[in-house]
Structure 1
């Protein structure tokens, strides 16, 4: 018998297996099934289903499990996920489908999202329940947390947009800032600041296909429409919170938002590590007010590179003055509307200074150094940077939040989104990080079982039908073939 005929015979021989035996004992979905029960989904969606009218509905748990399979294994689309389910025994086992059972059409989830899962907290509830299970098992440690953001490439064509004029939004801490400025002005015998009657505007690019995406511009990176995923994780890599904003929202504005979200969850940390983009006076003040030790890196001074930067001027707290490198004093004059205290030099002294050319380009030879009214809090964060404990925590950023982003983009499809609109992008992002937590929890809570190398998946065969040939053995399917 030729090899081709022998192969054909093996393909045509009839063997009876239990689906349970066709799935490896250490398969990820077996572990997921043990640690995460989805029965709560029925209560969340019961108002969206009719028991009396229409055709029989597809089990909502099966729909959610299909989505979990897609994001657990980083399958690119729902269409491809359904194709994988059709031929994968482990996927069918997890869904509770037999070998010959029909798999739902790939468009079913999209229709159910619009009809039943839109305006529903189902996906966030899945994320929170996974996180709660991990916390109950002592896997989450929120003593040290790490916050950062990553951009998610949006779906629309970056060349299809329109330019529009919009009002500049006020700073998220504007009311608090104006209150302190007016208190300072009142103490100095000055009138309170007057609100500007005319609103400032700016020109932005808005996508014509996904208006909710923001035009992302950052140094050498590609300019594109994108969303930003703001994520917080602990030192063990468990994602404890996330939310999504348009890509043109600056990271620094979202730190108070994330701290407030953590406080609602009772997850405020003792130490909080962020990158230089979050190092602003207000963020330092806000973190310290929550009794959190900030781990913030060195931030390079901004300004013309051909002039001395502010760090070369020494601040004297006792006399509230700055001392220049030529040992001249810059005295406080006033506080501007942005919350900066202005310290100015004596122009008569500066005119004859040998450092004038590298100090200022002012026509009246006056050097101005600014100091924010919350600079004291920023100085505390800067001093903490040299503490050994803070150093060790900040070094963990590359092993925690950065690694989570790398896994999400390389293995789970977070590099770009197939959806349009912030609501759908938030849904997908939440599911991705929920599945990452679920995979991590499954491996932690369910250890691998010892499986003998000669163990075959057809242990519980009931009947084997084949032609009786004494010269050919019975071939069995091993676990490694599944």
Structure 2
């Protein structure tokens, strides 16, 4: 029998709690069960006045709003606010009722400029989430898979200027001289000639770097140099202009991971990192280097290297496909670094929440 639903039901008054409308297995419920965001108050308290000015938007609400953006791959904060206004699960997550007005989309940007711009707040949030996962036995930093990916900058590739810059001497060249002297070898002849090169600099975002993949793909970009464990948890990330070679950042990234999460026993990298300096740096740190070609002939190295496609390569694929990391609407190294930290914090948080979900409590 054909039936027709009456539109008048749209105006029917019902008494219902917001909590009843959020699906029991929604990701925001899993996140709420996995971690208590009250730690944010301690991180930001020094950036707020205790007795002056108007009451602020709750800083936990600010962080939850921006995490919604990165968790669900929403394009901008403006669009995120529109989504929160109409999505009961998002309202539930930030603690706003049906009739409460959601903060304006510019609120986060203003707070970033006034309070968070020169802080490491987002890195602290990233590592707090990661340590929570580690406490629950989900993270294994003993093997670090390292690589980088290019993220297109918010800059027109045709708006540029050419500059002549000095070629920086790589830090390991001085160490090479010292090592040769230590082993009784003659020092290499010093290069007194100052080398220069021409580079292209964006007039829109000068801190990005000109990246050339092939004849078809040329753009200004940033490089996200990243490490993850064997389970896909991101252990750390450093952001540079897209014209900085991978090999220049490995020692800094390994040092960062070691400082925050402990020294890995193994570091697995691709051919871009296959240099004598990197091999020596890792071995001096008593870290096993796993590299392609001749260095990976042992069975254990082959086994570890094969996991790159399901670890670090999967991290980058998910970040771009599901979390909006194909490009950035932000400009400048600090803001793009914030994007990296928030993207990877969201990914770790999602994994933590899904892996520790115990289901709804029985009534």
TM-score, normalising length: structure 2: 0.95
| CA positional deviation for 1:56 | 2.0
- Residue equivalent to 1:275: 270
Q: Would the aligned equivalents of 1:206 and 1:214 in 2 still touch at CA under 8 Å?
A: yes
TM-score, normalising length: structure 1: 0.72
- Residue equivalent to 1:414: 325
> Partners in 2 of 1:170 and 1:71 — Cα distance?
38
| CA positional deviation for 1:43 | 2.0
Deviations 1:427-446 (A, max 9, x none): 01110000000000001111
Q: SS at 1:14's partner residue?
A: coil
> Partners in 1 of 2:255 and 2:50 — Cα distance?
41
| CA positional deviation for 1:44 | 2.0
Q: Pick the structure with greater CA Rg.
A: 1
> Partners in 1 of 2:20 and 2:318 — Cα distance?
31
Q: Would the aligned equivalents of 2:146 and 2:267 in 1 still touch at CA under 8 Å?
A: yes
Q: SS at 2:25's partner residue?
A: coil
Deviations 1:240-272 (A, max 9, x none): 111101100000111111121122124322222
- Residue equivalent to 2:144: 145
- Residue equivalent to 1:94: 93
| CA positional deviation for 1:165 | 0.8
Q: Which structure features the higher share of helix residues?
A: 2
| CA positional deviation for 1:7 | 2.7
| CA positional deviation for 1:47 | 2.4
| CA positional deviation for 1:40 | 1.8
Q: SS at 1:129's partner residue?
A: helix
Cα RMSD over matched residues? Answer: 2.0
Which of these residues, 422, 428, 436, is aligned with residue 339 of structure 2? 428
- Residue equivalent to 1:472: none
> Partners in 1 of 2:136 and 2:299 — Cα distance?
30
Deviations 1:17-52 (A, max 9, x none): 011111111111111111121212222222222243
Q: SS at 1:426's partner residue?
A: helix
- Residue equivalent to 1:297: 292
| CA positional deviation for 1:293 | 1.8
Q: SS at 2:6's partner residue?
A: helix
Q: Would the aligned equivalents of 1:172 and 1:253 in 2 still touch at CA under 8 Å?
A: no
- Residue equivalent to 1:52: 51
1:172 aligns with 2:83: no
Q: SS at 1:199's partner residue?
A: coil
| CA positional deviation for 1:55 | 2.3
Q: Would the aligned equivalents of 2:235 and 2:261 in 1 still touch at CA under 8 Å?
A: no
Question: After the TM superposition, which residues 339-378 of structure 1 pair with which residues of structure 2 at under 5 Å, given as runs?
Answer: none
Q: SS at 1:265's partner residue?
A: helix
Unaligned runs of 5+ in 2: none
1:205 aligns with 2:200: yes
Unaligned runs of 5+ in 1: 299-381, 452-458, 460-482
Which of these residues, 236, 240, 248, is aligned with residue 241 of structure 1? 236
Which of these residues, 396, 401, 409, is aligned with residue 307 of structure 2? 396
| CA positional deviation for 1:290 | 1.6
Question: Deviating runs (4+, > 4 A) in structure 1?
Answer: 181-184
